[in-house]
Amino acid sequence: MVILRLQSPDHPAVKNLFQQADHRSASLYPGLDRSGTSAQHLNAQGARFFAACDKTSGQIVGCGGYVSMLIPMPDHGTEISGMLPSLRVAGQGAGTVEIKRLFVDPLARRQGVARQIMVCIEDDARKSECQAIYLETGVKSTAAILLYQSLGFVRCAPFGPYQDDENSVFMRKPLVAENTITEAFT
């Protein structure tokens, strides 16, 4: 089990996880620069970033966060060949966030840590009134893709600076507001 807490991306243990993630990406995509966003850049973007800490040792075993998206989003009301259609989200581009730097130490994998981080991110984004979460991952990151799908993410049109990268998979999940009508009658 882990405890999740807000953490600066420039914490030494988090930066170590970033190095591990970049090394893994380099091994999956030789000759391609698939390194993730730097801690400095995440801080400059005002990232909401979380660390998963082992309850026993206190060691940071996973991390992930999100940033507000400042780029225009593609029209997700249109079906894309080979991808699930998704509903149009009101205010596209506003109230949207992108997942950044989700990674779990290899020794802590298969214990639900990544799922816990994603649920924490989603809850935090929802509390901030975000309307949708987007992410980009690599085509060879099968376990990550399966995790995202199990959490309700669907493939979407390419976006951002990696939209022309044939090694990228793009996904999104609308964050539906809780039904306040039923609350009014209880």
E strands in 15-72? 48-54, 60-68
CA distance 52 to 146: 20
Residue 152 is encoded by which pair of tokens?
């309700």
Among residues 125, 129, 74, 127, the alpha carbon closest in space to that of 98 is found at 125
pLDDT in tens, 7-50: 999 999 999 999 999 999 999 988 887 788 899 999 999 999 99
E strands in the chain? 2-6, 48-54, 60-68, 96-104, 132-138, 154-155, 168-174
Among residues 132, 144, 138, 118, the alpha carbon closest in space to that of 173 is found at 132
Residue 139: per-residue pLDDT: 95
pLDDT in tens, 70-113: 644 444 444 333 333 333 333 344 589 999 999 999 999 999 99
Residue 179: per-residue pLDDT: 46
